Structures are given as structure tokens and as C-alpha cells.
Amino acid sequence: MKAIVTVVGKDKEGIVAGASGKLAELGINILDISQTLFDDYFAMMMSVSIQDSAEFADVKEQLSTFGETIGVKIYIQNAAIFDEMHNL
């Protein structure tokens, strides 16, 4: 399954390394990545591939919890839902 991961928060060292490391730990492959800075704020979007056997709700919770530990918000959405939301 393809999904979209967004990471936002105050910029600091280690956000990309932390987020990508957590995705790897969960067996999630990054397909594409874009990041930018707005003043002192960091924003990143990633297109990822998740194993069909992965429990999406568990992945979502683990990413959210991990984001709190590094001081950012991490969200994940099924790419099909993300695409439909932006086609309205």
C-alpha cells in the first residue's frame, strides 16, 4: 500500500534521520521525499510503501508517538484517500 507521511515542527537537527530511521524500523520504504523550511519551521512530505501485512492503525500510532519524542508531529494517510481529498 502507498501512503503519504507528513512531518512538521520547529526545525532542529535530526528530524530527517529520526523520521526515516523510524520508517525503516517499521519496514516502510520511502519512495519520494520533499522537505522545506519556513522561517524556523520544518515541513516534510514523503510518499512511502507499506507492507500489506502491516496494521495501519498501529503504524499510525507508532509514528505519532515517535514524533512526540523528537518534538514534531508525524501524520500518515493512505495515498488513495489523500488523492481523493485533493481531487474534490
Domain ranges of the chain: 2-85
Closest of 32, 25, 30, 21 to residue 49, by C-alpha: 30
With pLDDT > 70 as the criterion, what percentage of the chain qualifies? 93
Please tell me the pTM assigned to this model. 0.88
pLDDT in tens, 6-33: 999 999 999 999 999 999 999 999 999 9
pLDDT in tens, 62-82: 999 999 999 999 999 988 776
In the chain, pLDDT over 90 holds for what percent of residues?
A: 82
Q: May I ask the CATH architecture of the domain 2-85? A: 2-Layer Sandwich (3.30)
CA distances from residue 14 to 62, 71, 77, 81 in whole angstroms, order as listed: 18, 11, 23, 29
